[in-house]
Structure 1
Amino acid sequence: MSVYVIFIRAETLDQAELDIYKAKAAPTPAGIVVQFLAAFGRQEVLEGPIPEGVAIAKFPSFEALRSWYNGTGYQQAAHHRYRGARYRAFAVEGLE
């Protein structure tokens, strides 16, 4: 069953760190089927606080997501995201 990961950027702290994150995180899904559905495009907030940006990715399963997220490649990039901005991130199972 597909899994959707949503990253919500609430506040940028250091753009240079986010630039490093973007460069290092992009190649990490090697061997994992991931489809980016949205990445910080135009948004219209219907309810709640306005996020700076939102990214959504589709993975084939929670196992594939965990393999990517916990993998060395992504974890080496992730600490730059932690320094660069405040985020919320979560995964939700899709409908089949």
Structure 2
Amino acid sequence: MTAYVVIVRERTTDPDALQRYRDRAPKAREIHPLTPLAFYGPQDVLEGEDAEGVAILSFASMAAARAWYASPEYQAALPHRLAGSVSRVFLVAGTDETEAAA
């Protein structure tokens, strides 16, 4: 079942650290296939607080998403995102067509 990683960047605290993250994070994508469905594009807030940016990444399964997140390649990039921004990251299970129709 498809799974999604949702990254919500509340605010940038260190642009240089965030750039180091941007430089390193793509290495994890070379090994762990993912599809970016949304990647920090324009957004309209319908409820709640505004966010600086949102990314939605699609994976083949929850296990595939966890493997990407836990990979040495992503873990090498992660400290730079943590140093460069206030963010929240969610792993969300998708639904199959039967569940969605109910």
TM-score (norm 1): 0.96
1:24-63 alignment to 2 at 5 Å? Answer: 24-63=24-63
> Displacement of 1:26 after TM fit?
1.0
Counting aligned pairs with the same residue, the percent is: 40
Q: Counterpart in 1 of 2:78?
A: 78
Structure 2: which 5+ residue stretches go unaligned? 97-102
Task: Name whichever of 80-89 and 26-35 sits farther off.
Answer: 26-35
Q: Which has the higher helix share?
A: 2
Superposed CA RMSD: 0.8
Q: Which has the larger radius of gyration?
A: 2
- Give the 3-state SS of the residue equivalent to 1:28 in structure 2: helix
Give the residue type in structure 2 aligned to 1:8.
Answer: V
Segments ≥4 residues shifted beyond 6 Å: none
Structure 1: which 5+ residue stretches go unaligned? none
Task: Name whichever of 59-68 and 76-85 sits farther off.
Answer: 59-68
Q: How many positions carry a matched residue from both structures? A: 96
